Structure 1
Amino acid sequence: MSEEVRSRSRSGSLYRTGTAYSSQIRGEIRGKLHAETIVVGGGVIGCAIAYELASQGKEVILVERSRIAGGTSCAAAGMLASDSEEFHSPVLTKLAHESKALLHQQTEHISALSGIDIGLQQHGFITPFRQENEMNNYRDKRSGDLTTEHVWWDRSILQHRAPWISEEAHGALYRPSESEVLPVNLARAYARAAQTLGAKVIEGVQNVRLNVDANRVQGVDTSIGMMTCKHVIIAAGLQGGELIKQAGLNLPVLPVKGEIAAVRFADHDTGYRPDKTVYADNVYIVPKANGEVWIGATSLPGRSDHIVTVKGIQQLLASAASWVPGIGQAQYLRAWAGVRPSTPDGLPYIGACESIPGLYTAFGHYRNGILLSAITGRLMANLIGGHTSEELGIEELCPERLSRKEIMQ
């Protein structure tokens, strides 16, 4: 994080604790550990929520145990693949399209407030095929998802529009409206914009525990003291399930590890560098605004470590080079791993915990946290503002839905 992001904003504040936390920091926040809403979790979801609440003039404190975008958000590829992704739920499909549109609308505003470029690019996604029958099968399978905007390219058009693609490609589906961002920049831009609008963002807050009495949530106890509030929103990704257990609720979170690699093409190799995202069945190749090309991602259910394996990266690079041969000549930069928070039914926990007034959740977004960040922030702000899940059309995402199913069974 840059020094600009660390500094105090015009209205809000970012505080860093850890070893640097001392009487000076304590003095800054003494007597200010109260807000209408406390958001727990400084990933892209929590930061988007803080931004939306602050935009509506709400008093909000965002607490993060390490650093902003230090968890799953820093390991995402940043694709806004609302058309390319296969959603098994109509509500997720709807929210994905709304979220992408909303994020495009927000970009100028959050960039102006934060001074951070989120790296938004809209060059479209290509889904390539090696054989005609593969292309036809995909066309039949996804026929209900395709619109007149989507374009089928035969081999000659594909080679003309994407000369860097493998000559073995038979054709491709081009989705021109698909876009992507730099995920860490997006999370930090949300956080900084929220600060500028008056929110307090506190990093390095350890030992967060929910303070719940017989009637409702009262706040959170933390390593820097008690924070009181009217609403608590748990947006802590993988840690969300553990935090919510403190209130006696069981919202399972299933870890799914993924590995990503980054390469860079030399300036004279521009003809071999992809200028559109390749969204294939076994790999995605994403040219980023910072000049890098990101290649991902492995999927390892049940794994929660951050070890980058040789096997995983070899598979990714081999798959990527089979579609974009020039990758074999690119400069290898680095590789990293992250853990995505999934749920048993594949739906995120978004909404109010009806059994505990004042307690809300927004976690379990699996591989679509970046894509769904904007709409999740808007939904949570609307819930805090008094709307119901039914009014917002998200009752299917109710946090306590799995418990209800168990009771009904």
Structure 2
Amino acid sequence: MAKQEQVVIVGGGVIGLLTAFNLAPHVERVILLDRSSLGQESSWAGGGIVSPLYPWRYSPAVTALAHWSQDFYPQLAERLFVSTGVDPEVHTTGLYWLDLEDEAEALAWAQRENRPLSAVDISAAHDHVPVLGPGFSRAIYMADVANVRNPRLVKSLKAALLALPNVTIHEQCEVSGFIRQGERVLGVESASGPILGDQVVLTAGAWSGDLLNTLGLTLPVEPVKGQMILYKCEADFLSSMVLAKGRYAIPRRDGHILIGSTLEHEGFDKTPTENALESLKASAVELIPALADAEVVGHWAGLRPGSPEGIPYIGAVPGVGGLWLNCGHYRNGLVLAPASCQLFADVLLGREPVIDPAPYAPAGRI
């Protein structure tokens, strides 16, 4: 790509922010647009586990991105912290999966993929996590799983971008459609008026499908609601992440404990519900009985960009020149962001890709 090109990125979640961060050194100008405030949708709402919840249940396409990202996250966080003073808090605690139905498949996957996941005696889990509830009989454990404090990651990426002279950010700037000339996209129609770009990148999460619809294209990305609750405990209260029956507990460094998450198909409705609150509290107390006496200090909902098999769309839109996708990460946007955005930059800039781009290419999938 010629250095003089202007790239317009639609969507300011972690995927959009990191896409901008990776492209900025290599293009003349980056303009990043978000319909509300940066990172306030799925990126802000998620738990931030730097692993798919059940990595062995995913295709090799997701696994490849996850492994690259897991290995890269610590250096990304360090680089952002040094340059911005905002620590994304990549916190390596390990993760226990309890009473898994497909434990044998998980262990076979770990051996095949050479990941440090192994069965442990339930008494060892209780020794390591003394607050763990009594109702579990089996555990597997992976020691190197981290979580990232996603609101801090958003804040750090925003600060890093604001420091770059060739990056412009427009918040509260909703995009309604694309400016076309023949078979090519020349820019976007936005709340601030038309914004032109040599390349337009759609990183709009759950809204990406609706935007592509304006071009008559069908992208199977839809909003999937997830609700979370937050407790405040002592900093050393929970020593590891734990997961059972599809629900997880994530400790932050300062003692905040996240419990998540629901999976709801409710369109773009982000209203937290009493039913979900009670369900999440019940899961919290089953995992960690002492939380029955802890205060819920937060309850919110976010919209994940649901996609078939959770495989994101990364690459050029076929038949529409100048339009690119980096979206559809479903439950794993934070997990897959470093690899997805590195791969995207490689493809756009014509470099040797870090991962085979074929499984993620929009061609043949939309």
Partner of 1:332 in structure 2?
Answer: 296
- CA displacement 1:345-377 (0-9 Å, x = unmatched): 532221111211211011111111111111121
The answer to whether the Cα contact below 8 Å between 1:251 and 1:399 also exists between their aligned partners in 2 is: no
* 2:323 is aligned with 1:353: no
Question: Which aligned pairs between 1:162-181 and structure 2 lie closer than 5 A?
Answer: 162-181=129-148
Alpha carbons of structure 1 residues 55 and 190: separation in structure 2 relative to 1, 3 Å: farther
Partner of 2:189 in structure 1?
Answer: 221
Q: Distance in 2 between matches of 1:376 and 1:202?
A: 23
Q: Distance in 2 between matches of 1:156 and 1:283?
A: 21
Q: Distance in 2 between matches of 1:155 and 1:88?
A: 26
Q: Which runs of 5 or more structure 2 residues have no equivalent in the other structure?
A: none
Partner of 1:399 in structure 2?
Answer: 362
SS in 1 for 2:124: helix
* 2:254 is aligned with 1:284: no
Q: Distance in 2 between matches of 1:392 and 1:155?
A: 37
The answer to whether the Cα contact below 8 Å between 2:64 and 2:355 also exists between their aligned partners in 1 is: no
* 2:18 is aligned with 1:48: yes
Q: Distance in 2 between matches of 1:89 and 1:155?
A: 29
- CA displacement 1:252-285 (0-9 Å, x = unmatched): 2222111100011257xx5xx2121112233100
Structure 1 vs Structure 2 CA RMSD: 2.2
Q: Tell me the percent identity.
A: 28
* 2:168 is aligned with 1:204: no
The one-letter amino acid paired with 1:401 is G
TM-score scaled by length of structure 2: 0.91
Question: Which aligned pairs between 1:90-129 and structure 2 lie closer than 5 A?
Answer: 90-129=60-99
The answer to whether the Cα contact below 8 Å between 1:114 and 1:192 also exists between their aligned partners in 2 is: yes
Q: Distance in 1 between matches of 2:204 and 2:189?
A: 16
The one-letter amino acid paired with 1:212 is R
Q: Residue 103 of structure 1: CA displacement?
A: 2.0
The answer to whether the Cα contact below 8 Å between 1:95 and 1:375 also exists between their aligned partners in 2 is: yes
- CA displacement 1:144-187 (0-9 Å, x = unmatched): 32246223221332222111112332231111111101112212
The answer to whether the Cα contact below 8 Å between 1:182 and 1:289 also exists between their aligned partners in 2 is: no
Question: Which aligned pairs between 1:8-19 and structure 2 lie closer than 5 A?
Answer: none
Q: Which runs of 5 or more structure 1 residues have no equivalent in the other structure?
A: 1-33, 404-409
* 2:123 is aligned with 1:153: no
The one-letter amino acid paired with 1:369 is G
* 2:220 is aligned with 1:252: yes
SS in 1 for 2:334: helix
TM-score scaled by length of structure 1: 0.82
SS in 2 for 1:42: coil
Q: Distance in 2 between matches of 1:303 and 1:247?
A: 21
Q: Distance in 1 between matches of 2:32 and 2:12?
A: 7
The answer to whether the Cα contact below 8 Å between 1:35 and 1:228 also exists between their aligned partners in 2 is: no
Question: Which aligned pairs between 1:2-81 and structure 2 lie closer than 5 A?
Answer: 36-56=6-26, 58-81=28-51
SS in 2 for 1:69: coil
Alpha carbons of structure 1 residues 152 and 285: separation in structure 2 relative to 1, 3 Å: same
The answer to whether the Cα contact below 8 Å between 1:39 and 1:63 also exists between their aligned partners in 2 is: yes
- CA displacement 1:202-232 (0-9 Å, x = unmatched): 1111344211211422112222232222110
The one-letter amino acid paired with 2:12 is G
Partner of 1:192 in structure 2?
Answer: 159
Q: Residue 94 of structure 1: CA displacement?
A: 0.8
The one-letter amino acid paired with 1:347 is I
Q: Distance in 2 between matches of 1:189 and 1:306?
A: 25
Q: How many residues of Structure 1 are paired with residues of Structure 2 in the alignment?
A: 359
* 2:258 is aligned with 1:294: yes
Structure of larger gyration radius: 1
The answer to whether the Cα contact below 8 Å between 2:175 and 2:188 also exists between their aligned partners in 1 is: no
The one-letter amino acid paired with 1:157 is A
Q: Residue 342 of structure 1: CA displacement?
A: 0.7
The answer to whether the Cα contact below 8 Å between 2:224 and 2:305 also exists between their aligned partners in 1 is: yes
The one-letter amino acid paired with 1:366 is Y
Q: Residue 314 of structure 1: CA displacement?
A: 1.1
The answer to whether the Cα contact below 8 Å between 1:212 and 1:247 also exists between their aligned partners in 2 is: no
